[in-house]
Structure 1
Amino acid sequence: MLAAKRALAAAGLLSLINTPLWVGLAGGPLWLHIAFTALLTALYLALHIRPRRLPEGGRLQVMMGGRELLVLSCPVLLVQPVLLVSACTRWKHLFSLGRRIGAIALSLLLVAALLTNGFLRLMFTCQRLRILWRVLLLLCWWVPVVGPLLLIKACSLAQAEYRFEAARAQLQVLRRDSQVCATRYPLLLVHGIFFRDWQLVNYWGRIPKALIQNGATIFYGQQQSAASVARSAAELARQIERVVAATGCEKVNIIAHSKGGLDARYAISCLGLAPRVASLTTINTPHRGCVFAQVLLKKLPGGLVRFIATRYNKLFAKLGDDDPDFMAGVQDLTARRCAQLAQQMPASDGILYQSAMSVMKRPGSAAPPLNLSYRLVKKYDRAENDGLVALPSAQYGKFLGCLRADGKRGISHGDMIDLMREDIPGFDVREFYIGLVRDLKARGL
């Protein structure tokens, strides 16, 4: 059915772009020529504006409209030169040489405009079209064989993304009224090292929006990007007190990623925040530290480490940190220092402690620098890892399991916070967090 519709649409598009030819062949008064041209022009512009109607609308409609333009225009572009040459040869007595050249140029320009529209729609809206694919498309779209293959790949990625997002949208409609993430206590999302809670770029990617759509109330840790565990914990403690005072919620459910889990544990155990916390869920947190970080600090030249630390501190001071401390943050992630911290941070009674972890399957599972650090962690920590944290180090409290994706992809440290906003086959990070929070609600938290 879809193939038949697309064939009819392609035939219609072929008619539209050959408007100069039909007008030249048609007889009749001038007003009829003008009306016919105006009608075909309106249809052509309508195709540009909305090439495909979808119930989802928004970004998905723009993206799939771009795919539709490419799918329709490519075969037309192949047929069009043959059709024009044949028509102008058969009816050459009706066309001067200038009119023939003009008709050919205009029709090809009309197709090129549709291709450009479709190309730009995909480039700006298809999230599965990674940077490498975008660069290749920009550089090689004109190359014979290579260009069409790249366009086919882009269309395939757009189709897969649409099916995935459409299925999620249908699921969301079904559970919209259930408010499965409306927990008793609000959520506090705590970021890891080297990041901040920026408003323009959310550390947690698409996760907060998905949780809020399902009834969650969300706040953020707001600690600095790099500091010692003790200092970050103090900043986190102040934020928790602000949230409790502002909402009257009494407690919060903390979901912490990476070093944020250590900051949260310290705030609970050492800064008197236990009465303010209902649960702590740590995601890919190095509770036992990172051996590879300890080795690197020893092996790298001291001057290089100090240079990196100084540059980092200056940059993030300009980006909003009060007093960033690169070295203090990194040193608190070493295995030796985490062992010392563990003695100071025993689990508090009355709080649900749980943890989850993911692992990469190969270096290609992630972009730099995680594809490089993956080998280092595997060498020095001697365990499966997510590119930064070894699997045994992440287990604390009730272990919810190790997350793995289908195929060779794996799930990296960044994937667990939707860093690249990427849909991973066999793993939906948004649904993972919805499941976490749904369980907290079921526990009455």
Structure 2
Amino acid sequence: MLRLFWWTTLMTTIGLAATLITMLAISWPAPWGTAWPVWTAGLTAVIVIESIVFWIGIITVYVTSVQLGLKIRVIGILCGWIPIANLIALRLIIRTVGEEVRFETAKDQLDRARASERICATRHPVLLVHGVFFRDTALLNYWGRIPAELQRNGATIYYGEHQSAASVPDSARELTARIRHIVETTGCGKVNVIAHSKGGLDMRYAIARCGAAPFVASLTTINTPHRGCGFADYLLTNIPLPVQHKVAATYNAAAARLGDTKPDFMAAVHDLTQAGCTRLNAEIGDRAELSGTRGRNAGGDAVPRDAGIRTPQSPHPQFPVPAYGPAAGPADFDPFAGIVCQSVGSKLAHATTGKFPLNFTYPLVKWFDGPNDGLVAQPSFPWGEQFTWLEPNGMRGISHADMIDLNRENIPGFDVREFYVQIVAALKRRGL
């Protein structure tokens, strides 16, 4: 509709201007001839019709577009009454929405073409486990458009439904109870867990210490700080304790009102530090013996790597995975035996390409820990039998929030929904 408005406005403006010039040339200096009422009526009709077309189009776009975003919407409103600027803003809106339509149309065609294959119809259902400071709610899905895409391709989806902020052991106990409930009520036997951020630590503890192991077929961690965040250690060391306690009390009170039964902001934060993760890995073990690390560029192309993370520019391993002590218990006991364990990490290229607050935290994390996703640094990601490293093409990169489609943004060269489809499809191929 807006494209129609753009071109019809352009053509009618040119036509009316040409007619006006011709009339002036013919009738000057007596311009009020019989042609003028006709021209004025035509101009009025054009204004009315184009206004109707414009407002129908702009309202439709503002209401339905996901990719337009707040920034472009505000630009459109502010520039709407400024000549020339309004046309530039309109062109930006048309281009953004046009790219969205093309992308979503291609995605719909792909899903329709493979619908009969049900490539995500795994033997065991998928359990999505959120990270810290979020909850599973019906109004705002933590995982963005990912669950719907997985379901469209045959997956059965459940959510962790644990509290937003708690210690790793407390969250692990909640998740274990949730998994047992799913297994008992559905008879599915096991679940395939995909856990983001701290959720990966929670699930590792649930498997190693809370009895969840018999009910887990696979664990895929997404941008999980398996070795902690050095930036968090720095903040806890340098921010005065009264300030920390005030922030914690404020958060805990708000979380309790939103449904958390026993929120513990400080316990959650301490378990995300390097010191906290060192203790965790010493207790439950750190499956750092990667058997097949892979790298992927933002387009999703796999690049075989060694167990150490390598960059295309250097043949030397970078950021070797630290090895911590084995899990407590019998020497031959491995709570993860028989469970497919894998991990994923990504890199944000620049602070300016991340949404708030990651655009603020990215340079700070980079200063302390090196390449990162805005919150977690590269050395902290690898865990399990296989690690996939997502590298950006160009200047954009892939942030901590991008990996769960939190902003519902179509990132050029990286389709996060399709990335999850392929993760689950691979689990299906393994009979999980």
Paired position in structure 2 for 1:352: 340
The separation in 2 between residues aligned to 1:133 and 1:160, in whole angstroms, is 14
- Tell me what 1:282 maps to: 221
Number of aligned residues: 378
How far the C-alpha of 1:160 sits from its partner, in A, is 1.3
| Aligned twin of 2:415 | 428
Identity of aligned residues (%): 46
Q: Structure 1 residue 408 and structure 2 residue 343: aligned?
A: no
Contact 1:252 1:277 (8 Å CA) reproduced? yes
* Distance in 2 of aligned mates of 1:121 and 1:398: 48
Alignment match, 2:55? 116
User: Which range is displaced more, 184-193 or 307-316?
Assistant: 307-316
- C-alpha change, 1:79 and 1:267, in structure 2 (3 Å) is same
Aligned residue in 2 for 1:389? 376
Counterpart pick for 2:182 among 243, 246, 266: 243
Structure number with bigger Rg:
1
Please give the secondary structure, in 2, of the residue aligned with 1:400.
Answer: strand
Cα deviation code 1:39-88 (max 9, x no counterpart): xxxxxxxxxxxxxxxxxxxxxxxxxxx33333334314523642674698
Of residues 108, 120, 128, the one that matches 1:181 is: 120
Structure 2 CA distance, aligned partners of 1:130 and 1:304? 34
CA RMSD of aligned residues (A): 2.0
Letter of the 2:173 counterpart: A
Distance of aligned partners of 1:74 and 1:94 in 2 relative to their CA distance in 1, 3 Å threshold: closer
Shift of 1:143: 1.8
Cα deviations by residue, 1:185-232 (Å, 9 ceiling, x for unpaired)? 110000000110001111100100110011101100000111111111
> Which consecutive aligned stretches of 4+ in structure 1 deviate over 6 angstroms post-superposition?
86-91
Q: CA 1:429 to 1:229, structure 2 compared with 1: closer, same or farther past 3 Å?
A: same
Q: CA deviation at 1:317?
A: 1.4
Shift of 1:128: 2.0
Which of 1, 4, 7 pairs up with 1:72?
7
Distance 1:67 1:102, change over 3 A: closer
Q: 1:115-147, CA deviations, whole angstroms, 9 ceiling, x for partnerless residues?
A: 222222222222221211111111012223322
Query: What letter is aligned with 2:400?
Result: H
1:191 to 106, 126, 130: 130
2:104 corresponds to which of 149, 165, 169: 165
Q: 1:144 aligns with which of 83, 99, 112?
A: 83
Contact in 1 for aligned 2:5/2:50 (Cα 8 Å): no
Matched, 1:296 2:283: no
Q: Secondary structure of 1:281's partner?
A: strand
Query: C-alpha offsets along residues 300-345 of structure 1, whole Å, 9 cap, x if unaligned?
Result: 2222222221221111211121121111111110000111011222
What is the letter of the counterpart of residue 352 of structure 1?
Answer: V
Hey, what's the Cα distance between the residues in 1 that align with 2:116 and 2:206? Answer: 35
Matched AA of 1:359? K
Q: What corresponds to 1:135 in structure 2?
A: 74
Aligned residue for 1:322, secondary structure, equals coil
**Following TM superposition, by how much is the alpha carbon of 1:374 offset from its aligned partner in structure 2, in angstroms?**
0.7
Shift of 1:102: 5.9
CA distance in 2: counterparts of 1:434 and 1:265, whole angstroms = 23
Which deviates more from structure 2 when the two are superposed, residues 174-183 or residues 313-322? 313-322
Q: Do the aligned partners of residues 265 and 357 (structure 1) sit closer, same or farther apart at CA in structure 2, a change above 3 Å counting?
A: same
Shift of 1:173: 1.3
Q: SS at the partner of 2:114?
A: helix
Alpha-carbon distance, 1:298 to partner: 1.2
The 1:286–1:96 alpha-carbon spacing in structure 2 relative to 1, beyond 3 Å, is: closer
TM-score by length of 2: 0.83
Aligned twin of 1:217: 156
Structure 2 counterpart of 1:375: 363
SS of 1:354 mapped into structure 2: strand
Between the aligned partners of 1:222 and 1:340, the Cα distance in structure 2 is 26
Q: What is the Cα deviation at residue 404 of structure 1?
A: 2.2
Q: Which structure shows the bigger proportion of residues in helix conformation?
A: 1
Do the aligned partners of 2:2 and 2:54 also contact (CA within 8 Å) in 1? no
In structure 2, stretches of 5+ residues that fail to align are: 286-334
Change (3 A) 1:175 1:148: same
Deviations 1:248-274 (A, max 9, x none): 011111000000001101111000111
Which ranges in structure 1 are unaligned for 5 or more consecutive residues? 1-65
Change (3 A) 1:96 1:353: closer
**What is the alpha-carbon distance in structure 2 between the residues aligned to residue 394 and residue 312 of structure 1?**
27
CA distance in 2, matches of 1:142, 1:282: 49
Q: Distance in 1 between matches of 2:280 and 2:179?
A: 21
Give the CA deviation at 1:418: 0.3
What's the offset of the Cα at 1:435?
0.6
Q: Given residue 317 of structure 1, which amino acid in structure 2 is its aligned partner? A: A
Distance in structure 1 (CA, Å) of the matches to 2:19 and 2:256: 64
Residue aligning to 1:361: 349
Query: Contact conserved, 1:69 with 1:117, CA < 8 A, in 2?
Result: no
> What do residues 255-294 of structure 1 show as CA deviations (whole Å, max 9, x unaligned)?
0000000110111100011101111000000011101001
